[in-house]
Amino acid sequence: MGVGGLEAEPGDHICGVFSGEMERDQVLIPFLQAGLVSGDKCICVVDGTAPGEIVAALGPAGEAAALTTSKQLEVIGASDLYLRSGRFSADEVIGSWKAAISDAMYAGQFDVVRAVEAWSRRDVLPDMNELLILESAMNRYLPLYPQVIVCLYDVDRFGGGALMNLVMTHPRMLVGGVVIENPYLLTPDEVLAKTAHRDAATASPITEEAEEWFSDVMTGST
């Protein structure tokens, strides 16, 4: 992954949290740099920061820019991807991801795609139900191609309740410099039921147990 010697496998969908741009970039930048060195197709969707700033942070002037010209590196502003129709739609975003990844694979230039999405709720304020549906649907889509996706969430902007729901849509979680398996992963069908009956789901003992686990992970108690 380029992060602390951690490894990822094709098909991984990993959730990480950060507080401030410095923490975000401690994962985002080395993750992309390792991919560029490996010859992977690298896609970064960034919220709250100009794409040019990310490109400039990836290497000496001109080198990263040349990689964008060759299409190995794409850094996209969140609003340019997520608000193409003027509103945030899980179905539309999945369609855009499928098109981008299939183009990269069928071109024959790359064996692996690595992508990172950084969510700060600054440029884009997604409907939380739509965001949950998007993250869960990615688990159906990821096995179609050799790809790894890391989703980074600003803990200061999302809050514990929203993050708890988002964590439950990711098979693995990056926290404290380690990647851990998520024992409370929800299937896409379970997420759809949760978004349709949020009050009932919030009150369930399973969710309370998951919240306790999440709290322990975040505080380093487990």
Cβ neighbours of residue 215 closer than 8 Å, sequence gap 6 or more? 160, 221
Q: Which domains does the chain have, with CATH numbers?
A: 13-219 (3.40.50)
**pLDDT bucket at 53, cuts 50 / 70 / 90:** very high
pLDDT of residue 100: 81
d(CA 133, CA 187): 10
Lowest-confidence region among 161-165, 167-171, 179-183: 161-165
Beta strands, E only, the chain: 13-18, 41-46, 73-77, 113-119, 147-154, 172-175, 178-181
Write the DSSP string, 54-74. Answer: HHHHTSSTTHHHHHHHTTSEE
Residue matched to tokens 């496998």: 9
pLDDT reading at 62 higher than 90: no
Say if pTM beats, i.e. exceeds, 0.85: yes
Q: How confident is the prediction for the chain on average, in pLDDT?
A: 84
Nearest CA-CA partner of 24 in 201, 158, 195, 189: 158
